[in-house]
Amino acid sequence: MQALIYQGPEKLTLEEVDVPGIGPNEVLVRVESVGICGSELEGYLGHSSVRVPPLVMGHEFCGRIAGLGDQAKGLSLEDKVVVNPLIACGTCASCQRGAYNICRNRKIVGIHRPGAFADYVAVPGENVIRVPQEMDASLASLAEPLAVAIHAIKLGFRPLDDLLIYGAGPIGLLCVAAARQMGAGNIVVLDLQPARLAHAEKLGAIGLSPVQIEDRREALFPRGIPVAIDCVGVQATREQAMNLVDPGGSVIMVGLGHGKSELPMNHLVRQEISLIGSYTYSHEDFQQAVALLVRGKVGIEGWTQTRSLEEGPAAFRELSEGKSAFSKIFLKP
């Protein structure tokens, strides 16, 4: 089979490799569509300590069951499925209290084991969720990033509140979609790329640059900014978010752009601002993401593009350089 292999910073190669074998509790998925995640762009640039080359990345995907382990239950060949790529140990203290997303021994498909930038991928059967046979595979592939957005929104957002979001990439746009489903008031999205801001506005948000928000804050948020969600995660966005939110407000930190940042900690103390880390999602979040997609509450039209697996290196390069007019690119093996 063919697989797109990360060989080191800014180097991806398309190679012929063996179809992965499966264990007794695993299934083999024939990949139909896989999304390029922002965290994978960080890996591609060599900024991710957890993505060690050579590696087949890819954790946002949809496909069909092509093989079943002897002990894999509840699934049939040719079932159309999405996969929760987070594999929890089930025994650590975090898992025992139901916080599987912060399992101390977690493994992730596309990081700790080969992912879905390939014709086939092997995954645990218990991590597989069936979707309707007629569902668009790229739309279904949004289940994972949509679950990330749902989890972040739940951590600090209250229905009817206004919301400030940093980043009009896939997670930022999906935060807009999730917040609208949860009854958000005004949603303002900040980004440096006009094309991405246009996508946010099509989803019902107000798109601005980080500079513009300083002058328009009072008009757009007459009741203040109770929560900001940072889907970028760099010094500038983290610091500005902390300075903009209300006293007693929250900054939900999703983006992993910079490993370290100098932040106005005295301001945080005096204003009782909460910094909340948001990592992946719960089982419930993932199921809710699938349900929203199946019901047609979130779409892919206008802000996504589909390319072949062979075009993967070019797609990574364009996205990492900010040259793509699309916020999300799917690859089809």
pLDDT, tens digit (0-9, with 9 covering 90-100), for 157-177? 999 999 999 999 999 999 999
Cβ(230)–Cβ(239) below 8 Å = no
**285-310 as b/e: b if 16+ CB within 10 A:** bbbbbbebbeeeebebeebbbbbebe
Bond prior to 333 in cis (omega within 30° of 0):
no
Predicted confidence (pLDDT) at residue 49 exceeds the cutoff of 90:
no
Q: Let me know if residue 290 belongs to a domain.
A: no
Q: Which residues, in sequence order, are bridge partners of residue 230? A: 166, 253
Query: Looking at 17-151, which runs of residues are DSSP E strands?
Result: 26-35, 60-68, 80-83, 86-87, 107-108, 120-124, 128-130
> Do 230 and 318 fall into the same domain?
no
| pLDDT at residue 29, as a whole number | 98
Whether residue 293 lies inside any domain: the answer is no
Same-domain status, 29 and 105 = yes
* DSSP conformational letter for 20: P
pTM, rounded to two decimals: 0.95
Closest CA to 187 of 214, 160, 218: 160
The arithmetic mean of pLDDT across residues 38-59, rounded, is 93
Task: For residue 114, give the nearest of 42, 22, 46 by alpha carbon.
Answer: 22
Per-residue pLDDT at 59 exceeds 90: yes
Q: How many domains does the chain have?
A: 2
Domain hosting residue 17, numbered range: 2-142+300-332
Quick one: 201 and 257 in the same domain? Answer: yes
Helix (H, G, I), strand (E, B) or coil at 169: coil
| 294 located within any domain | no
Mean pLDDT of the chain: 96
* pLDDT band (50, 70, 90) for residue 48: confident
CA distance 195 to 60: 23
- Domain shared by 212 and 165, yes or no: yes
Asked whether residue 283 is assigned to any structural domain, the reply reads no
Domain shared by 136 and 6, yes or no: yes
Half-sphere exposure of 152 (CA within 13 A, CB side): 34
Percentage of the chain modeled with pLDDT above 90 = 95
Where residue 203 sits, what CATH number does that domain have? 3.40.50.720
